[in-house]
Chain A
Amino acid sequence: MTTPDLLYSEVEEDLRASVRALLADRCPPAAVLARAEGPAPYDGKLWHALARELGAAGLQVPEEHGGAGATLRETAVVLEELGRAAAPTPFLGSAVLATTALLACAGGAELLAELAAGERTAALAVPLAAAPGTGFPWAGLPQTVRADGAGALTGRVAAVADAAAADVLLVPAAGPDGPGLYAVEADAAGLAVAPRTSLDLTRPLADLALHGVPARRLAGPAEAPAAVERALLTGAGLLASEQLGIAEWCLATTTAYLKERRQFGRPVGSFQAVKHRLADLWLEAAGARAAARGAADALARGAEDAPLAVAVAQAYCGDAAVRAAEECVQLHGGIGMTWEHPAHLYLKRAKADQIALGTPGRHRAALAVLADLPAPTG
């Protein structure tokens, strides 16, 4: 077992600083809130700046495919910052899930280059709640899409993240000769993308209905299942970094508020009952950072124990982010309950993220196998 590198390199810190500066400028909480109920869930200009000017969309893509030739570690740093800002961008859906799936298919080079350059965005047509290891096409889930002999797709996929903003959908479907991964243009005939009212105001979901939609097959039975699994595993592992960013914002914001807010003639943050809760949150955030870095590093190295590192990170960080966001609301008192204060953006993102790509309980169940801690029989 190699010891993971759990720190941030200088390059990673520089990248963080650029992303943070961009988000502070373009994506302050008031702007996020204003957009949340508007017609356009994503800020196109912000995405343009992030994906194209900073090159964030192509971080994990090799240079020969038009990317930056960095690794998933850098990609994770971007997600941390996006979590810290509760930023409404299709980064997870396009730059992580769809891009990872494409990287594992020989057939998607052209689209990959477009995504890496931030010229187009894509979404992987799987339910956001799908966990790695779910099987293909998602065993146990009602939604399946079938491809006919001509490659036209019919079926439904519910609750897909970042689909409404996508130019292209990558649809896993059962074809005549087995599973495949298909590319569908967003404006293709027979495709209906119906936005849902989602709990997370900053990551909209949509239901897809396909009726004989023309599609291009990117991968067949030999590649497609592994490509989708790789995308789900990577997505789950890197989501831990987003969850870390959420927890950190909540802790920092709450700590700063309680240093200022006075009741009973002293700062509320000087009361021990409150201090101890913040100390526990700090400890959890430190754990979340180590676990999230561990997962990102294992994925970046292609480590053999990457599935275990991902399961550990997801089993831990999902709950840590929710707890931090819940404490943030509680320890702000009445103001924490208002629509105006951004705390709820983080609470909603944290709660949705806890379900996204597998609940903590599902990841613990995966560990029963990965860490050889078998369940009782009978």
Chain B
Amino acid sequence: MTTTAKGTAPAGGTGPAVTAEDVRRRVRALLDAHGTADRTAFLRARFDAGLAWVHFPEGLGGLGAPRGLQAVADAELAAAGAPDNNPRANGIGLGMAAPTLLRFGTPEQQARFLRPLWTGEETWCQLFSEPGAGSDLAALGTRAVLDGDTWTVDGQKVWTSGAHTARWAILVARTDPDAPKHRGITYFVCDMTDPGVEVRPLRQITGEAEFNEVFLTGVRIPDAHRIGEAGDGWRVAQTTLNNERVAIGGQRTPREGGMIGTVAATWRDRPELRTHDLHQRLLHGWVEAEVARLTGERLRQQLAVGQPGPEGAAMKLAFARLAQHLSGLEVELLGEEGLGYGDWTMVRPDHVDFLGRDAGYRYLRAKGNSIEGGTSEILRNIIAERVLGLPAEPRTDKDVPWKELPR
């Protein structure tokens, strides 16, 4: 379980504080009551026992417990050989949709979506970016029009990771073209099986097609699947984006977890490849990786409760730079072998693993780390303006109605 979702106030919040011993007792009770042979049944029971994400409220997969106790549950369950929910196959659901639903969803929406999301029975994708709205997401033009209690959505989304496997999508669409661009957006849950949804693969520099373009034509969304108020979608999306950055760059890792571990292992296993220049660069990279790990650890200690703030942007920025530097170093270290590549065959993977496959793949995939979830340039803007409080660049697009903006 590696979700980075953050709980709001624990449900009720009346009972005595949950302790590590309580969590262990619940794990034992869960294991006693349910065999692990039927994976789905076991995962559902785990969710119902409040051991999915312990910091979520009771009834929604949690115990209203401190986040730190999740590690206790995960360790106990892993030690018992219990199946996990394969978090890598549903990163967007766990890392982004769930915390957004928890914060802004109605009780009905939470009850409907969170359990199958967590167990992996339903995976999610993110219909945010458009051909004309990437870094400037608030410029998006996909239209949603309300008729009675149903919205009709028309537009095009792009770079949609996992759209080919997703059951649901989080979607932002323009609902008020007369309002300035940040104010006329609404946030929805979109059914990916709707006949108006067409998903076409987009092949990436790795050879595979992890992401897609998605055409939305007369897609019907019940108003009950609106998240937050109409016109308030930008604010809801901020929660998603802040969590996305933490999901990409903010995972807790042991020393030498992540890309550095892969490179260091190659270095140790293959003494014949070593050169003095690479040695210096590896040591630099090792220090950077260890410091990034400590910085993330410090951030987590600070954020024992509450939503990730703009600091998540910093972790993602450091993560991307390191992943790119170290994966490039490994290809170079491999020398002649680095001239090869595992396989260019076009496939549509059902999960993403930045550390997977071969060194060439890792090098190429890492290029996406400084683009997905906000480019490194945009993240630097966020740090400069929201953390350091530097003045914004003069802008001409903020207070004009969206429909009057040049495109």
A364 on interface, CB distance cutoff 8 Å: yes
B388 on interface, CB distance cutoff 8 Å: yes
Say whether, besides A7-B302, A258-B390, A373-B267, A291 and B294 are in contact (CB < 8 Å). yes
| Closest CB in chain B relative to A108 CB, distance in Å | 34
| Closest CB in chain B relative to A337 CB, distance in Å | 23
Which residues from B are CB-within-8-Å of A276?
377, 380-381, 384
Say whether, besides A266-B394, A282-B387, A368-B279, A374 and B271 are in contact (CB < 8 Å). yes
Interface string of B365-392 (1 = CB under 8 A from A): 0000000000001011101110111111
Stretch at the interface among A205-213, A220-228, A267-275: A267-275
Say whether, besides A275-B385, A282-B383, A375 and B274 are in contact (CB < 8 Å). yes
Flag if A269 contacts B264 (CB, 8 Å): no
Checking A269, A286, A376 against B314 with a beta-carbon cut-off of 8 angstroms, the contacting residue is A286
The residue of chain B having its C-beta at the shortest distance from the C-beta of A366 within the complex is B283
| Closest CB in chain A relative to B303 CB, distance in Å | 11
Question: How far apart are the CA atoms of A177 and B59 in the complex, in Å?
Answer: 73
Q: Report the interface size class on chain A.
A: 35 or more
Flag if B287 contacts A367 (CB, 8 Å): yes
Flag if B280 contacts A364 (CB, 8 Å): yes
Question: How far apart are the CA atoms of A371 and B255 in the complex, in Å?
Answer: 10
> Which DSSP category, helix, strand, loop or mixed, fits chain A's interface?
helix
B317 on interface, CB distance cutoff 8 Å: yes
Flag if B391 contacts A312 (CB, 8 Å): no
> Which DSSP category, helix, strand, loop or mixed, fits chain B's interface?
helix
Which residues from A are CB-within-8-Å of B275?
376
B393 on interface, CB distance cutoff 8 Å: yes
Question: How far apart are the CA atoms of A226 and B317 in the complex, in Å?
Answer: 41
Checking B267, B298, B314, B394 against A293 with a beta-carbon cut-off of 8 angstroms, the contacting residue is B298
Flag if B380 contacts A367 (CB, 8 Å): no
Flag if A290 contacts B384 (CB, 8 Å): no
The residue of chain B having its C-beta at the shortest distance from the C-beta of A276 within the complex is B380
Which residues from B are CB-within-8-Å of A286?
295, 298, 311, 314
Further 19 A-B residue pairs, CB within 8 A, beyond A255-B390, A373-B282: A7-B302, A266-B394, A270-B393, A275-B381, A275-B385, A280-B380, A282-B383, A283-B317, A286-B311, A286-B314, A287-B318, A291-B294, A315-B283, A364-B283, A364-B284, A365-B283, A368-B279, A375-B274, A377-B274
By a beta-carbon cutoff of 8 Å, the part of chain B in contact with chain A is 254-255, 264, 267-268, 271, 274-276, 279-280, 282-284, 286-288, 290-292, 294-295, 297-298, 301-302, 311, 314, 317-318, 377, 379-381, 383-385, 387-394
By a beta-carbon cutoff of 8 Å, the part of chain A in contact with chain B is 1, 3-7, 255, 258-259, 266-267, 269-272, 275-276, 278-280, 282-283, 286-291, 293-294, 312, 315-316, 364-365, 367-368, 371-377
